Structure 1
Amino acid sequence: MLRIILADDEAMIRAGVRAILASDPDIEVVAEAADGREAVELVRKHRPDMALLDIRMPKVDGLTAAAEIRRLAPDVGVIILTTFGEDEYIARALGDGASGFLLKSGDPRELIAGIHAVAAGAAFLSPQVAQRVISELSRGSGGGRMGRAAQARERVEQLTDREREVLGHVGSGLSNAEIARRLHVVEGTVKAYVSAILSRLSVKNRVQAAIVAYEAGLVDDSA
């Protein structure tokens, strides 16, 4: 059973998320908070498996709470709930210990999948969030970006043609299921490709892999 702390300052949002989580018999919401400070205290009290935090909350916001939770209980996974209007916070949160980023308006199945992925030790971003993170982190110009691009191209040269194709789709923010449909293969095959890509590129998760894809020019960001 995965024990969850849920924190959001809007009662209706908490009720909706709780209803989604109740559909999975392996997930239990053990406590709820209306602000980040309360969320940290609940983590201290209950020692859950995971904290699901709204990015914007009064007193202490989700990012500050995430960093504090990681210091207090590094074994507790943290997932941030966000909206499309908060891109500037997402990049910051990558360094604050959060393991997942999900859109409040996203598919409820992504929430369930994200919780299980983080519980298994992986990072999880909804495809839409992943693409916006990549765009935000890849902004800039000049020699620094050119140098990163050259390094990224060298790194992807070690991949097979098929792996580069899959990496490009990862960089575009597609899920494994969407990539499988594009390539006319089963989802398990895509998972195997992604695992091999992460290993070959020496990156920790698909977000970092997607950034490499973007900087290597495998992603068409003109669309």
Structure 2
Amino acid sequence: MKDIYIFGASGYAREVALLINELNEFSIKGFVDKENSNAVVILNNKSYSIISENQFVNICKNNKPNAAIAIGDPMITINIINKFNNICSFPNIIHPNTIFSGKSILGKGNIISYNCIFTDNIKIGSFNRFNIGVLVGHDVTIGNNNQFNTSCNISGNVKIENNNLFGVNSVILQNIQICDDNLIGASSLVIKNIKKSGTYIGNPAVKLKY
């Protein structure tokens, strides 16, 4: 099996680790966090070391290790992508029960969890994270570094740019375009194009004013 490191050390990182273990393709070597806290991640009674990003840079100098970014916040992951994109390999991590009904094109470093469904003519960039039960309709284009939380539903002919976070049970109706750098709240319903970055919540979703 090929070695792999996981960025992040939270609950989501443990979920991704469980997913990786199910694939029987990679052997987890450790978790990478901003700083080395001398802590460990315990998963199924096995302990994994946590190393700092600076320590991991030194590991990357000797080879180009496989890595997965298991951090939910797109604003945090941007720095990791910029720092490690050219010195790590980022395979797509896809649960075996994922359904691709038609044609889908994927970049690299995407993580697709349990019970996700993708229909036809879907284009997905890199470093996107699809949590449990995400549904993606036909003719959808997704950019880079987006987080889709559990049971998010994306209808057909939707275009999503980069660095967005979609809350649990959020719904994007058909023919919608969403720009960069937005947070869509849990259970929110997006019925209009989002052209200005911000936080959108509600049914229908509206931009929060601070």
TM-score (norm: length of structure 1): 0.34
**Higher RCO (Cα < 8 Å, 6 or more apart):** 1
TM-score (norm: length of structure 2): 0.36
Larger % of strand: which? 2
Larger % of helix: which? 1
